[in-house]
Amino acid sequence: MKYYCIKQHDITDCGAACLATICRHNGYKIGISKMREVAGTGAGLGYLATR
């Protein structure tokens, strides 16, 4: 099994990078910039869990 890792661009991209990695692992090619648009800039995992 291949493992994908989308790296965050700065300290506030952890949530977007995590979601982009999960999407990529499941066959969806969604980049971190698109995830940042959807999730909101600077969204951490704690914030995304409440959305």
* pLDDT digits 0-9 by tens, 11-40: 888 888 888 999 999 999 988 888 888 877
Residue whose tokens read 């999960």: 22
Question: Rounded CA gap, 26 and 12, in Å?
Answer: 24
Does 43 have pLDDT greater than 60?
Answer: no
Question: Rounded CA gap, 10 and 50, in Å?
Answer: 22
Tell me the backbone φ, ψ of residue 43, rounded to 5 degrees.
-80, 120
Domain boundaries, the chain: 1-40
| Residue 27: per-residue pLDDT | 92
Structure tokens, 28: 């969806």
Q: Which amino acid is at 16?
A: A
Total-model pTM:
0.69
